[in-house]
Structure 1
Amino acid sequence: MKLKSLFSIALSAAVAASFMIAGSATAGSIKIVGAGASFPAPIYSEWFKDLAEKTNGEIKVDYQSIGSGSGIKNFIGHTVDFGASDAAMKQSEIDQVPEGVQLLPMTAGSIVIAYNLPGISDLRLPRDVYPEIFLGKITKWNDARIAAANPGVKLPNTPITVVVRSDKSGTTFGFTGHLSAISSDFKSTVGQGKMVQWPAMNMVKGKKNDGVSSAIRQTPGSIGYTEYGYAKLSQLPTACLQNKAGNFVCPGAEAGAAALANAVLPENMIVFINDPAGDASYPIATFTWMLFYKKNKSPELAAALRKMVEYCLDEGQKIADKAGYIPLPESVVEKVRAASKNIQ
Structure 2
Amino acid sequence: PIYNLPGVSQGLKFSGPLLADIVLGKVRKWNDPAIAKHNPGVSLPGTDITFVHRSDGSGTTFVWADYLAKVSPEFKQKVGADASLNWPVGVGGKGNEGVTGMVRQTPGSIGYVELIYALQNKIAVGAVQNSAGTYVAPSVESVTAAAAGASADMPDDFRVSITDAPGAEAYPIASFTWLLLYEDPRDKAQGRVMADFLRWALGEGQVHARELGYAPLPQEIVERELAALDRLKLQ
**TM value normalised by structure 2:** 0.90
Deviation at 1:250, TM superposition (A): 1.3
Q: Is this contact kept in 2: 1:249–1:255, CA < 8 A?
A: yes
Paired position in structure 1 for 2:169:
280
Q: Which runs of 5+ in 2 are unaligned?
A: none
1:188-337 superposed matches below 5 A: 188-200=77-89, 203-264=90-151, 265-296=154-185, 298-337=187-226
Amino acid of the structure 2 residue aligned with 1:138 = V
Q: Is this contact kept in 2: 1:214–1:234, CA < 8 A?
A: no
Deviation at 1:295, TM superposition (A): 4.5
Paired position in structure 2 for 1:115:
3
Amino acid of the structure 1 residue aligned with 2:118 = A
Distance 1:343 1:240, change over 3 A: farther
Paired position in structure 2 for 1:14:
none
More contact order relative to length (CA 8 Å, sep ≥ 6): 1
Amino acid of the structure 2 residue aligned with 1:309 = L
Q: Which runs of 5+ in 1 are unaligned?
A: 1-112
Q: Which runs of 4+ in 1 moved over 4 A?
A: none
Deviation at 1:326, TM superposition (A): 1.5
Deviation at 1:297, TM superposition (A): 5.2
Paired position in structure 2 for 1:59:
none
Residue by residue over 1:148-191, the C-alpha shift from the partner in whole angstroms, topping out at 9 and shown as x without a partner, is 22223222222111111122211111111110111111111111
Q: Is this contact kept in 1: 2:62–2:84, CA < 8 A?
A: yes
RMSD over aligned CA atoms reads 1.8
Secondary structure of the 2:175 match is strand
1:83-232 superposed matches below 5 A: 113-121=1-9, 122-200=11-89, 203-232=90-119
Q: In structure 1, what is the Cα distance between the partners aligned to 2:71 and 2:44? A: 25
Q: In structure 1, what is the Cα distance between the partners aligned to 2:120 and 2:145? A: 23
Paired position in structure 2 for 1:44:
none
Q: In structure 2, what is the Cα distance between the partners aligned to 1:233 and 1:274? A: 23
Paired position in structure 2 for 1:339:
228
Deviation at 1:255, TM superposition (A): 2.2
Q: In structure 2, what is the Cα distance between the partners aligned to 1:208 and 1:296? A: 33
Q: In structure 1, what is the Cα distance between the partners aligned to 2:99 and 2:182? A: 31
Distance 1:271 1:154, change over 3 A: same
Deviation at 1:257, TM superposition (A): 2.5
Deviation at 1:128, TM superposition (A): 2.6
Q: Is this contact kept in 2: 1:292–1:343, CA < 8 A?
A: no
Structure with bigger gyration radius: 1
Amino acid of the structure 1 residue aligned with 2:192 = A
Equivalent residue pairs, number:
230
Q: In structure 1, what is the Cα distance between the partners aligned to 2:93 and 2:197? A: 31
Amino acid of the structure 1 residue aligned with 2:126 = A
Secondary structure of the 1:115 match is strand
Amino acid of the structure 1 residue aligned with 2:113 = T
| Percent identity between the two aligned chains | 43
Q: In structure 2, what is the Cα distance between the partners aligned to 1:332 and 1:120? A: 39
Amino acid of the structure 2 residue aligned with 1:287 = F
